[in-house]
Each structure stands twice: as structure tokens, then as C-alpha cells.
Structure 1
Amino acid sequence: MKHKVLILGTLGEFTELVKKAKEKGYETVVCDGYADGIARTYADKAYTIPVTDVDAIALMCREEGVDGIITSFSDLLLECMVKIADKAGLPCYLKPEQLSWYRDKSACRDVLDKLGLPAPGFRKISVELLKQGSEEEIQQSIANLQYPLISKPLDKYGSRGIFIIHHSDEVRKKALQTAEYTDCQEILVEEYNDGYEFNMMTWVMDGKVNVISIADREKTEMEEGMLPLSTRNVYPSRFLAEVEKSATDILQNYIRYTGQTEGALSMQFFWKPGRGIQVCEIAGRFFGYEHELTDMVYGFQTEELLLDYLYEKDRIKEMFHRHDIHHPVKYGAVLYFQGRQLQIADQTAACELAKEKCVVKPWIFYKEGERVIEYGPNPYLALYYIETENRRQLELETEKFFSEMSIRDPEGREVAYRNKIPEYEKEKKTDD
């Protein structure tokens, strides 16, 4: 019998998953609410149903005879996949009752707290208190937290609705701004960690965490007081040896509590010499616009893993038997360029950078004449996957991109924010 797989998501990062599924001889069905999603071009069948319409997609799965469902790269897609799989009777590595530990920041923090695992100090504040409470009551609600703080929604992803709070007199204003981004009756206020930041992707197999990659997650403060934005993720992390064991142990303890025995598992965390690790977020999926780096740097293909989980689980053990995160084939990075909400007129410089020899894959998201939309289907102005033979060369190439990148609006104003490479206290010497 020929397998028929539903791939939940049709935007650009799903094209390789659809192609790989077809290479393996599977019939492919794609679905989401984006009518012009590029992955539709490659699929055997395509449906335009919002991913949140769980009942409609579950019914479609039964009518189509779908025998597997997969997605990744976004928390919302993960949540919808788990619920659809449950309704349609399809196998999935998480159940709906486990979702809160991967989707609700409050539930995640409660587990970390209960297990004694390190995370920034936090408090939950009711939106009602922020609107109606006295200044004294608001300050009391965050007593003992150390400034700077950040306010964030409990139910959103992609850095939406997150604001830095530097002083006590900013708490109400910034927290109310966060409240505009959530449907919850509470928001989260937590201590802001200024340590190095990391992205870690793993796969759980037979209840054991297997590390796929750990990357340096670099950010740039584009404008004073603005939350720093993601600008480069570097593979492998220069601090891999320092953080790998502690980070893996944290995830192992976490899934022992949540009951996850298989499937994707990722973590964003902070670390600083002498301070140790603090968990930022834990998710049951891989990072969007980043999983390509594991293929570039290690020859480890995420699409292969996701599809083998559905239909050829025995192959996964062999994938990890060959995989060694301490011996990269190349050094790689994804460079993200974020922009102001202006109209795009001239992308010449961005297109020229796409031709650089180190570029494995360029991705320019907007067409000339379009306006940059915050939190629209395009997450960035542009991104570039680059690879080099060593880390020093990677730094040089990055500096070139960060200095030469330019996108102009019709009046000649710069649309792209200027990225910066952060300063590191300690440089590794093993990549010379």
C-alpha cells in the first residue's frame, strides 16, 4: 500500500519536506490557510484550510485516507498537528494533554520550578491588575525580581509581544503592551538574562534525548530600548563543550516529567561563564529557517528524520549512529535581516550578496513594490545560509554581509536594520 502523508504547512520551508516525501514514493497532501504557499506547487494534493480548523482537517484526513501527519518549525503548527492527529486517529509523538508543557510558557516554567531546573525568575500578572490595580499592588506582584525584566505573552511565539522593562516605573506600560498580544488573562514578567544565547535541537528516541545540534543564537539591538532581534545563528556553537552535557541533562529531566518518549524536542537557553545555564523556552518541534544548517554542517537531514519517524523508524538509529556534533563537515550560519515597515523599492545590494560564493541558499522574502508587514507571512526581509571551512572565515564572510546589506524604499531610506556581531569573552582555538 502506498503511504499518503499530510504535511501541515505550505510556506517555503516545507518545500524540501514535500520533495523528500515524493522521492520516497509517498503521496503528498499539504494544507494550511496560505492559498499561495509555494510548497503547494510540489504536492500531489493541496487544501486551503486554516491550520486551527482542527475538525475540518481531521475530516479531510479521513476522507483522503491519510496515514501519517507531520509538521515542524512553529509552535502553532505543532499544536494543531497534535490535535488533528488525535481527532483523525493518526500516530503522533505528543498527545493533546501534553501540549501545555510545550506551548504554555507558564506551564513550562512551573515544571522547571518543580524539578529544580534553572530558569530566570518570573511572575505571572493578571491583565486586570495591570488595568485596575494600584502602582503598589503591581510592584508587589513582581517583588524580588531583578531588573532588567521582560514582559511576554503566555501563548505566543516568534518574539511577539515581548518588551524590555528597565525601571519599575515602566512595568505597567510595558506589561499592558504585552497584554495586547494575548488572549490570556495573565502575562509573564521574567528576569532578562544578558548571557550568551543558544538554540538546541534534539530528537527523543526510546525516552532518550539525542542531540542534533547546538548553535550560538546571536541578536542585535536595532534601536535603543528595542528588544534585540535575531540576526545570526552559528553552527556549531563555540561553547559546545561547555554547555552540551548540562543542557542535555535538563531536557532529559524535563521529558521524564512530561512523558515524551519520542519526537522532536528543542530548547533555547542562556549560559555565561561562572553562571551556568538558564532555560528560556522548550518546544516540541524544530526551529524554522534553521534546520537546514544541520544538513549543511553535519550532513544530517531533518526532513529525512521527520519522514523516517512516520514510516521507517528503524533508520533513525542509524542516522544518530553516524552523527557526531563534535566533528562538523563545514562551519555554517544563517544570517537574518530584519526591517522597518516601509515599502521595498531597491534590493540590488541584497541580490548581489546572494551571488557570494559562500552562500548555499539565499532567501529574499519581498518583491519590489511590496510593504514590509510586521508578523506577516514573511518573517524577515532576507536570510542567507552561508558555509565556510572554518570559523574565522565564517566571521569574515558575516562581516561582509552585515556591512554591505542594503534595501531601500522609494525615497531612498534604508529599510534593513544594521546587524552586528556580538563580542565574545572567550574565543575557541580549535577551528584554526
Structure 2
Amino acid sequence: MRHKVLILGSLGEFTELVQMAGKKGYETVVCDGYPDGPARKYADRSYVIPVTEIDRIAVLCREEQVDGIITSFSDLLLECMVKIADKAGLPCYLKPEQLPWYRDKSACRLLLEKLGLPSPGYKKISVDFLREKTETELAATVGELTYPLICKPLDKYGSRGIFIIHNPKEIRQKALQTAEYTSCEEILIEEYNDGYEFNMMTWVTGQKVQVISIADREKTEMEEGMLPLSTRNVYPSCLLPQVEEEALGILQEYIRHTGQKDGALSMQFFWKPGKGIQVCEIAGRFFGYEHELTEIVYGFSIEELLLNWLYEKEKILQMFQTHDIHKPLRQGAVIYFQGRNLEIADQSAARELAKREGVIKDWIFYQDGEHVVEYGPNPYLALYYTARNSRKELDALTESFYREMSIRDPQGREIVYQNKIPEYRSAQESESKD
């Protein structure tokens, strides 16, 4: 009998997953709320249903007689997949009762705190409390936390609704801004860690965490007081020896208590010389617009892993037996460009960069004449997957991109924010001396 899989997601990052499923001989059904999703044209059947319509998609699964459902790349998609699978009686590596530990930032923090695992200090504050209390009372509520702080929604992802609080006078204003981004009755205020940041992707098999990759997650403060935005993720991390063992131990302890036995597991964390790791977030999915780097750098396909979990589990062990994060085939990075909310007029420089040696794939998200939309379906202005033989060569290529990238509006104003590469040498040297 031919397998039929429902793939929850039709945007560009799902194109390869749909294509690979088809090449493996599986019948593919694609579903989400984006009618123009590019992955649709590669599917056998597709439906335009918002992913949050759980019951409706569960009925679709039964009507289409699918025997598997898979997604990744966002917390919302993960949550919906888990709930749909439960209602439709399909296999899934998480159950609805486990979701809070992967989806609710406060539940994650409470568990980390209970386990004695390192994370920034935090407070949950109700939106009503924010509106009712004075600045002095609000300051006293977070009095034991160390500034700067950040306020964030409990139910969003992709840096949505996150603001930096520099002093007590800013708490009310910034926190109420965050409240506009959430449907929850509470928000999270936590200490802001300005250390080096990392993205770690792993897979759980037989309750054992298998590391796929650890990357440097570089961010740039685009404007003074603005939350730094993601600008480059580099594989493998140049600080891998400093963070790998501790990070792996944290995830192993975490799933021992959540009960996750299989499936995707990712973590964003901070590290400072002499201070160790602090966990930012733990998720039950892979990172969107970044998972491609595991194949570019290691030859390790995330799409193949996801499909193997559904239908050929015996191949997963083989994949990890030949995978070594310390032996990359080359160095790789995804470079992100973000910008101001202006109208796109001239992208010629961005298109020219796509022709550069070392560019594996480019993604220019807007058409000329479109207006940049914050938190719309396009996550960036453009991104470039790049690869070179050494980190030094990769950094040189990146620097040239940062100098030459430009997108202009009709008045000739620059839309693109200026990216920067952080300094790593001091961190590497200080640890080697220790």
C-alpha cells in the first residue's frame, strides 16, 4: 500500500520536503492557510485551511486516509501538528499534554528552574497588573532581576513582540507593547543576556539526544535601543568545544522529565566565558530557513530525517552513525538581511550578490513595488546560503556581502539594515587559557 503523508506547511521552506516525499514514492497532501504557497505545486493534493483549524484538518486527514503527518520550522506548526495527529489518530513524537514544555515559555522556564538548569531570571506579569499598577510598583515586582531586561509574549516566536527594558521607567511602556502581540493574559519579563548566542538542533531517538548541529547565532543591533536582530548563523560554531558537552547534558536532562522519546529537539542558548550556558528556549522542531545548512555543511538532510521517522525508522540510526559534527565537509552560513518598512524599488545589488562564488542558494522575498511588512509572511528582505572551505574565507565573503548589500526605495533611501560580525577571538582565547 502506498503511503500518504500530510505535510503541514506550503511556504518555500517546505518545497524540498514535499519533493523528497514524492521521490520516495509517497503520495503528498499539503495544507495551510497560504493559497500561494510555493510547495503546493509539487504536492499531489493541496488544501487551503489555516493550520489552527485543528478539527477541520483532522477530518481532512481521515477523509484523505493519510497515514502520516509531519511539519517543522515553527512553534505554531509544531503545536498544530501535535493536536491534529492526536485527533486524527496519527503517529507523532509528542502528545498534547507535553506541548507546554515546548510551546509555553513560562512552562519551559518553570521546568528549567525545577531541574536546576541555567536560564535567565524572570517574572510572569499579568496584563491587568501592568495597567493597574504604578511604575514604582512594577519596578518592585521585578526588583531582584538585573537590568537590562526584555519583555516577551508567552506564545509567539521569531522575536515577535520582544522589547528591551533598560531601566524601571521603561517597564510599563515596553511591557504594554509586548501585550499587544499576545492573546495570553500574562507576559514574561526576563534578564537580557548579551553573551554569545547559539542554535542547537538535535534528534531524540530511544530517549537519547543525538546532536545534529550547533551554530553561532549572530545578531546585530540595527538601531540604538532596538532588540538585536538575527543576521547570520554559522555552521559549525567556532565555540563548539566550549559549549557542546554542557548543552547536550541540559537537553538530555530536559527530555528525561518531559518524557520525549523521539523526534526533533532544538535549543537556543547563551554562553559567556567563565559564566557558562543560559538556556533561552527549547523547542520540539527544527529552525526554519536554517535547517538547510546541515545538508550544505555535513551532507545531513533534515527532510530525509523527518520522512524516515514516519516510514523508515531503521534508517535513522544509520544517519547518525555516519554523522560527526566535528567533521564538517565545509564551513557554511545563512546570511539574513532585514530592513525598514518601506517600498521596494531597486533590488539590483541584492540580485548581483546572488551570483557570487560561494553562494549555494539565495532567497529574495519581495518583488519590486511591494512594501516591507513587519512580521508578515516574508521573514526577511533576503537571505543567502553560503559555503567556503574555512571560517576565515566564510567571514571574508560575509564581510563583502555586508559592504555591498543594498535595496532602495523609490526615493533612493536605503532599506537594508547594516549587519556586523561579532568578535570571537577574546572568547576563544580566554577559554583556552582556563
Gaps of 5+ in 1: none
Structure 2: distance between partners of 1:354 and 1:212? 27
Summarize deviations over 1:235-284 as a string: whole Å, max 9, x none.
00001111011000000010001000000000000001100000000000
In structure 2, the residue matched to 1:344 is: 344
Is 2:249 the counterpart of 1:227?
A: no
Structure 2: distance between partners of 1:295 and 1:90? 28
In structure 1, the residue matched to 2:248 is: 248
Q: Are the equivalent residues in 1 in contact too, given 2:121–2:190 (CA < 8 A)?
A: yes
Q: Which moved more, 1:131-140 or 1:250-259?
A: 131-140
In structure 2, the residue matched to 1:92 is: 92
Summarize deviations over 1:361-400 as a string: whole Å, max 9, x none.
0000000011101111100000000000000000000000
Structure 2: distance between partners of 1:296 and 1:347? 26
In structure 1, the residue matched to 2:159 is: 159
In structure 2, the residue matched to 1:299 is: 299
1:342-381 → structure 2 map (5 Å cutoff): 342-381=342-381
Q: Are the equivalent residues in 1 in contact too, given 2:123–2:189 (CA < 8 A)?
A: yes
SS of corresponding position for 2:426:
coil
1:175-324 → structure 2 map (5 Å cutoff): 175-324=175-324
Structure 2: distance between partners of 1:360 and 1:404? 18
Structure 1: distance between partners of 2:136 and 2:332? 50
In structure 1, the residue matched to 2:412 is: 412
Q: Are the equivalent residues in 2 in contact too, given 1:204–1:264 (CA < 8 A)?
A: yes
The alpha-carbon deviation at position 357 of structure 1 amounts to 1.1
Is 2:125 the counterpart of 1:148?
A: no
In structure 2, the residue matched to 1:111 is: 111
SS of corresponding position for 2:336:
strand
Q: Which amino acid aligns with 1:304?
A: E
SS of corresponding position for 1:227:
coil
Compute the RMSD of aligned alpha carbons.
1.0
In structure 2, the residue matched to 1:121 is: 121
Q: Which amino acid aligns with 1:167?
A: N
SS of corresponding position for 2:357:
coil
Q: Which amino acid aligns with 1:379?
A: P
SS of corresponding position for 2:326:
coil
Summarize deviations over 1:52-106 as a string: whole Å, max 9, x none.
0001100000000100000000000000000000000000000000000000000
Q: Are the equivalent residues in 2 in contact too, given 1:294–1:300 (CA < 8 A)?
A: yes
Q: Which amino acid aligns with 1:224?
A: E
SS of corresponding position for 2:402:
helix
Percent of matched pairs sharing the same residue: 72
Aligned residue-pair number: 430
Structure 2: distance between partners of 1:222 and 1:143? 29
Structure 2: distance between partners of 1:198 and 1:212? 13
In structure 2, the residue matched to 1:168 is: 168
Structure 2: distance between partners of 1:340 and 1:137? 36
Q: Which amino acid aligns with 2:59?
A: L
Structure 2: distance between partners of 1:263 and 1:135? 44
Gaps of 5+ in 2: none
Q: Which amino acid aligns with 2:240?
A: L
Structure 2: distance between partners of 1:139 and 1:221? 26
In structure 1, the residue matched to 2:39 is: 39
The alpha-carbon deviation at position 129 of structure 1 amounts to 1.2
Relative to structure 1, the CA distance from residue 428 to residue 113 in structure 2 (aligned partners, 3 Å threshold; closer, same or farther) is closer
Q: Which amino acid aligns with 2:248?
A: T
1:61-100 → structure 2 map (5 Å cutoff): 61-100=61-100
Structure 2: distance between partners of 1:19 and 1:378? 22
SS of corresponding position for 2:119:
coil
Structure 2: distance between partners of 1:217 and 1:139? 31
Q: Are the equivalent residues in 1 in contact too, given 2:135–2:168 (CA < 8 A)?
A: no
Q: Which amino acid aligns with 1:325?
A: I
Q: Are the equivalent residues in 1 in contact too, given 2:135–2:171 (CA < 8 A)?
A: no
Structure 1: distance between partners of 2:377 and 2:188? 26
The alpha-carbon deviation at position 425 of structure 1 amounts to 3.7
SS of corresponding position for 2:78:
helix
The alpha-carbon deviation at position 427 of structure 1 amounts to 7.0
Structure 2: distance between partners of 1:297 and 1:252? 25
- In the superposition, the TM-score normalised over structure 2's length comes to 0.98
The alpha-carbon deviation at position 426 of structure 1 amounts to 3.4
Q: Are the equivalent residues in 1 in contact too, given 2:207–2:261 (CA < 8 A)?
A: yes
Q: Are the equivalent residues in 1 in contact too, given 2:216–2:235 (CA < 8 A)?
A: yes
1:387-426 → structure 2 map (5 Å cutoff): 387-426=387-426
SS of corresponding position for 1:426:
helix
Structure 2: distance between partners of 1:176 and 1:188? 11
Structure 1: distance between partners of 2:358 and 2:100? 41
Q: Which amino acid aligns with 2:101?
A: W
Q: Which amino acid aligns with 2:11?
A: L
Structure 2: distance between partners of 1:151 and 1:362? 33
The alpha-carbon deviation at position 126 of structure 1 amounts to 1.1
SS of corresponding position for 1:304:
helix
In structure 2, the residue matched to 1:6 is: 6
Summarize deviations over 1:194-236 as a string: whole Å, max 9, x none.
1000000000000000000000000000000000000000000
Q: Are the equivalent residues in 2 in contact too, given 1:238–1:427 (CA < 8 A)?
A: no
Q: Are the equivalent residues in 2 in contact too, given 1:235–1:333 (CA < 8 A)?
A: yes
Structure 2: distance between partners of 1:147 and 1:427? 23
Structure 2: distance between partners of 1:136 and 1:293? 47
Structure 2: distance between partners of 1:107 and 1:13? 29
